[in-house]
Copies of this chain bind each other. A is one copy, B any other.
Amino acid sequence: MNLPLSKIAEIAGGRLVGDGSVMIRGVARIEDAGEGDLSFLANAKYVRHLQKSPVSALIVPANLKLDSDLPVIVAENPYFAFMKVVSAFYPAKPPEPGVHPTAVVPDSVTLGKDVSIGALVSLGENCQVGDGSVLMAGVVAGHDVRIGKACLLYPNVSLREGVRLGDRVVLHNGVVVGSDGFGFTMEGGKYVKIPQVGTVVIEDDVEIGANTAIDRSLLGETRILQGAKIDNLVQIGHNCTVGRHTVISGQAGVSGSTHIGDYVRIGGQAGFAGHIKIGDRAAVGAQAGVSKDVPEGTMVSGYPAKPHREELRMEAAVRQLPQLLKEFKALQEKVRELEEKLRKSC
């Protein structure tokens, strides 16, 4: 593809500044960009790459100062603008509809229109797959699984019996949905399993990263609400809910029966105790250990997690501690001397 920058600006929905006739042949990272490439610059950290780059044009946010006369597309949300350009240069190519001859699809399965079932897929009895959904090679679903429309299941995803996916759900390689919750009770000196007879519901527009595991509920449902985005290697325990448009970064873990609100942002490797509630629009720092409810709109961090400002104040205080210990010894000494002096003099 080869398009003038003016056309690209239209696609991006941004404001063109500079020569719109420059021809753009691709998109690239600023570090890799060649002549004819459009790049993206939102983080001031990367401006230094500009000097030695033969890049032809940039998408930038309004507030980024550039010491350059390159033509640019200024966008309110440069990531969104860039996304639209990338999508134009790399249109998605869904696989051809059809069922691969090596796939195992019992007669009781219902497939919608334009469904693609890849090689070596195995579906259980009574599964339903909605229109336009794609199940790539090696996907396994137990019986009575319901998959909505336009879902994309990458290879080796595995769905336990009875789980339900909404529309446009994306599950990356190795995702497990509906594994048993971790429920045992000690009886007679050994653990006895509590059967996990609930299920998991994944609502519309949810995306879940590679090798993440979402446990089914003991009773009722574990539920991932609309538009939530979950990264790789995350663990969601039984009976949890993850709210609408909530983002959970890689390797975070949520213990059973914890409820996470809407628009929450969770950093990588954060951990959550069970039976707690995280309010809407809360933010949780990477590696935080959250053991209590977090009120709406609050940012917490650290171990155990506290309000972020408090955590920062404490970290700063701890950094002063070795010095404090020294000064404290000196002060003790001085007080001893004063005491001595006072005893002598008065």
Interface residues of A, Cβ cutoff 8 Å to B = 27-29, 31-32, 43, 45, 77, 79-80, 82-83, 86-87, 89-90, 92, 100, 102, 104, 118-120, 122, 136-138, 140, 142, 154-156, 158, 160, 170, 172-174, 176, 179-180, 182, 184-187, 189-195, 197, 205, 207, 209-211, 213, 215, 217-220, 227, 229, 231-233, 235, 237, 239, 245, 247, 249-251, 253, 255, 268-269, 271, 273, 275, 286-287, 289, 291, 302-304, 313-315, 317-322, 324-325, 327-328, 331-332, 334-335, 338-339, 341-342, 345-346
Shortest Cβ distance from A269 into chain B, in angstroms? 5
- Name the residue of chain B whose CB is nearest to the CB of A343: B341
Asked whether B213 lies within 8 Å of A211 as measured between CB atoms, the reply is yes
Chain B residues with CB under 8 Å of A86's CB are 194-195, 197, 218-219
Q: Knowing A80-B187, A190-B205, A245-B190 touch, does A174 contact B174 (C-beta < 8 A)?
A: yes
Asked whether B122 lies within 8 Å of A184 as measured between CB atoms, the reply is no
Question: What would be 14 A-B contacts, judged by CB atoms less than 8 Å apart?
Answer: A80-B187, A86-B195, A136-B140, A138-B138, A140-B173, A182-B229, A193-B207, A211-B233, A213-B233, A233-B253, A286-B291, A313-B322, A327-B332, A334-B339
Asked whether B233 lies within 8 Å of A235 as measured between CB atoms, the reply is yes
The 6 closest A-B pairs by CB, nearest first: A79-B185, A345-B346, A179-B210, A210-B213, A122-B137, A140-B155
- Name the residue of chain B whose CB is nearest to the CB of A318: B314
Chain B residues with CB under 8 Å of A269's CB are 253, 269, 271, 289
Asked whether A250 lies within 8 Å of B253 as measured between CB atoms, the reply is yes
Q: Knowing A104-B102, A213-B232, A324-B328 touch, does A192 contact B83 (C-beta < 8 A)?
A: yes
User: How many protomers of this protein does the assembly include?
Assistant: 3
Q: Knowing A227-B191, A304-B315, A346-B346 touch, does A331 contact B341 (C-beta < 8 A)?
A: no
Chain B residues with CB under 8 Å of A138's CB are 122, 138, 140, 156, 158
Asked whether A182 lies within 8 Å of B334 as measured between CB atoms, the reply is no
Rounded to whole angstroms, the CA-CA distance of A237 and B286 in the bound complex is 15
Q: Knowing A77-B187, A318-B321 touch, does A156 contact B154 (C-beta < 8 A)?
A: no
Rounded to whole angstroms, the CA-CA distance of A100 and B32 in the bound complex is 41
Shortest Cβ distance from A32 into chain B, in angstroms? 5
Shortest Cβ distance from A232 into chain B, in angstroms? 4
Chain B residues with CB under 8 Å of A155's CB are 122, 140, 142, 158
Shortest Cβ distance from A7 into chain B, in angstroms? 19
